[in-house]
Structure 1
Amino acid sequence: MFTGIVETAGEVAGREETPDGLRLRVAAEGLDDLHHGQSIAVSGVCLTVEEFGAVDAAGTGDGDAGDRSWFSVFLAAETVAKTYLDDLREGDAVNVERALAADGRFDGHVVQGHVDTTAEITGIERVGEDWRFTFSIPEGFGRYVVDKGSVALDGISLTVAEKRGDEFDVAIIPTSYELTTLSEKAVGDPVHVEVDVVAKYVENMLEGYAESLLADAPESAPSADD
């Protein structure tokens, strides 16, 4: 599980297309305890660390502990199809968050790293020291987005400032803007969307409850014409 509090903005250091999917190598700072099999979120997508190491000053993968780290992850075909990670090229920035430790501080909201859909940035506006981003979400997903509710965009835990149908705004403070990939986004760019998992659970339970009510409802009495 993740919290949507991005630890660092990494950089795509390599990519390899395979018959079964895509392998990415990501370089980032501050990841000093990586291990094989670890869950890690790359721009909101939960992936598994295959290999890892340190990057030396020359940019190779032969550094000592304490240098900039790198890790590789594999994306299955389904993940490639549902995300925009296949569009990434070397040098592109990605948000990185390791899974929450059992004794860690819970500062964001429950983020699983399971992308529901992608949204398009339709507006970026500077408001004082902050930024206001507007997103258009595909039809059918707007019902999970509520005013002042939580939403994960590219793995960032954000609060919905205003919602209008299938369009919504979020306010971005300078820290979030500068420490994540939002500072490199432009109108027309996609972002991964993971809606609040609680909303999906509630919807599923209500649908099951409605189905049980219909199943238990007595059959209507025959009419006089029968």
Structure 2
Amino acid sequence: MFTGIIETLGEVVALEKEGENLHISITSSITSELKIDQSVSHNGVCLTVVALEGNVYTVTAIQETLDKSNLGNLEVGDIVNLERAMVLGSRLDGHLVQGHVDQTAICNNIEEKDGSWVFTFGYDTSKKNVTIEKGSITVDGVSLTVIDSKKGSFSVAIIPYTYENTRFSTYKVGSVINLEFDVIGKYVARLLQLND
């Protein structure tokens, strides 16, 4: 489990395809604190550390993960949002995040608002995921509050700290991002489907 509060950014230094799997090697300021078998969120995707060498660690993404997330689009030099698993007994500053990306979305609009930004994202509604105003959403692993919820789109407001310390500063209109919808909302939606 994660909180959606990004700890640091990492840089992709190598990508190696092996069958349908993709081995992703990353350098970051937290590498020295990691250990093999540890879970780390990468743009909101929970992946297991499989190798450590110096300031570089490696994780492996399977085909399903590549199909449901933006990790299959990574290139050497790309920046990723990183968060280690939450520590039980600490403050929960974001919201409960599983690290299980539901689908991707496209950045449709970026509006600067006198020191902050409003980002609007569009997503495929055929997967039956929904957002609600003032509800939680995870964008590339960042815990956020929805400010404008519509069918197939939503907006979030980004303060300067988040803009500067996450991948938000790299987004452009057309950028592909990972979404994890609120876990409680997913259960409610599923229960409603079962009762139809």
Same fold (TM over 0.5): yes
C-alpha distance after superposition, 1:52-95 (max 9, x if no partner):
2433xxxxxxxxxxxxxx21001111111221212111110000
Query: Which letter maps to 1:164?
Result: K
Q: Does 1:14 align with 2:10?
A: no
Q: Which runs of 5+ in 2 are unaligned?
A: none
Shift of 1:7: 0.3
Q: Which amino acid aligns with 1:90?
A: V
Instruction: Tell me which residue corresponds to 2:24.
Output: 24
Measured in 1, the distance between the counterparts of 2:109 and 2:179 equals: 16
Residues matched between the structures, number: 196
Shift of 1:197: 0.6
Q: Does structure 1 residue 124 correspond to structure 2 residue 110?
A: yes
Aligned position for 2:171: 185
Kindly report the root-mean-square deviation, in angstroms, between the aligned alpha carbons of the 2 structures: 1.5
Equivalent residue letter for 1:8: T
Q: Which consecutive segments of 4 or more residues in structure 1 shift more than 3 A? A: 140-143, 205-208
CA distance in 2, matches of 1:178, 1:53: 28
Amino acid paired to 2:100: H
Secondary structure in structure 2 of the residue aligned to 1:144? coil
Quote how far apart the aligned CAs of 1:168 are. 1.2
What's the % identity of the aligned pairs? 41
Taking the aligned partners of 1:9 and 1:187, their CA distance within structure 2 comes to 21
Counterpart in the other structure of 1:82: 68
Residue of 152, 163, 178 corresponding to 1:166: 152
Gaps of 5+ in 1: 56-69, 212-226
2:69 & 2:14 partners in 1: Cα distance?
A: 18
Larger radius of gyration: 1
Task: Determine the structure 1 residue equivalent to 2:35.
Answer: 35
TM-score, reference length from structure 1 = 0.82
Give the letter for the 2:44 counterpart.
Answer: G
Amino acid at match of 1:87: N
1:133-152 matched pairs, under 5 angstroms: 133-140=119-126, 144-152=130-138
1:205 aligns with 2:191: yes
Question: Does the residue aligned with 2:189 lie in a helix, a strand or coil?
Answer: helix
Cα pair 2:43 2:80 within 8 Å, conserved: yes
The equivalent of 2:101 in structure 1 is 115
Alignment match, 2:77 = 91
